[in-house]
Structure 1
């Protein structure tokens, strides 16, 4: 979720962010393809830069980066970075475990040597069990009929750019287990969709778009 679209350039420039949000009018398909290719190349270069960062950036500078760990926008960015990596590797046919396990092992060994002055015997367990539920099309139909959906179902529809999100004036969401807690998913979705949130006890939320 783009908490501050006009912040200084990172991997993306402010113009790149505007393009990805659909705020830039492209008069030619070639212009759009050029923008997409430019963004892909910047992402690849940014990823490759981490080889230099992990080997040469001073610990105090690394710690300075993560001084912002209490900032929700920063934490959301870290979460999104890992999700982007997981999804990209999955779509490319590479298991996330293939990069996660050696990365964690190497980091723990460096931490032990630099911080504790010792060695480390590192074991990493990583297990994913995914059960796929309602299709995006079925969820979109339920939104059109004003039937409540779960935060996860709405997230899937939003990420799929289904037109129902832009067509609907309100979307009803059913919170899990009859509680008012959703781990912040709805707040992030509301920010992403630029929507208002109204709680409808005992376990409903209405998003106004």
Structure 2
């Protein structure tokens, strides 16, 4: 099923086309209206997660994640889940809430259904994305995150042949799919 044939989820096919830059709405007002509709749907979808957590049974959730996502191409499922986490992470950063608290409470809320609690540790270390540093790490045999690989792939300072050669030794590199959907530089 192509992206344009996919049924409406949080976004309609027209919303997806607009946000990807594949559709022009024709006027500034139409664009404002579309963005307002999308913001409203995102807000209400987030509020619906409490209803889903409480009302959608474990079997239904398993059918979505295990069966439906499991039947999709592995990269498509992975990208969808990574993008959902990235969107929620970025959204929490836009609030006055601490992400590690939200993450810990979310994990514990899910674990409570199994009559258990969890101790969640979350560590975040920031570093600037720099092509020279990342290439040095790759040459030294260190593994890079998909975001770091995407940065290298998009960088004009990186020789594609060298990058392909360096990553040929890695089993987790697919030249056609370097998280360009998740991270655009």
> Same-fold call, TM > 0.5?
yes
Query: Separation in 1 of the partners of 2:180 and 2:18?
Result: 18
Q: Is the 8 A contact 1:175 1:182 kept in 2?
A: no
1:104 aligns with 2:107: yes
- The alignment of Structure 1 onto Structure 2 pairs a total of residues equal to 157
CA distance 1:176–1:92, shift in 2 (3 Å): farther
Aligned to 2:177: 188
The structure 2 residue matched to 1:172, chosen from 160, 163, 169, is 160
TM-score normalised by L of structure 2: 0.71
CA distance 1:83–1:186, shift in 2 (3 Å): farther
CA distance 1:109–1:40, shift in 2 (3 Å): same
**C-alpha RMSD over aligned residues:** 3.0
Q: Over alpha carbons, which structure has the higher Rg?
A: 1
Aligned to 1:68: 68
CA distance 1:25–1:60, shift in 2 (3 Å): same
Structure 2 gap segments, 5+ residues each: 132-147
Query: Separation in 2 of the partners of 1:155 and 1:90?
Result: 27
Structure 1 gap segments, 5+ residues each: 114-119, 136-149, 158-163, 165-170, 193-209
**3-state SS of 1:187 partner:** coil
Alignment of 1:1-209 (within 5 A): 4-66=3-65, 67-70=67-70, 71=72, 72=74, 73-111=76-114, 113=115, 120-134=116-130, 151-154=149-152, 172=160, 174-175=162-163, 178-180=166-168, 181=170, 183-184=172-173, 186-189=175-178, 192=181
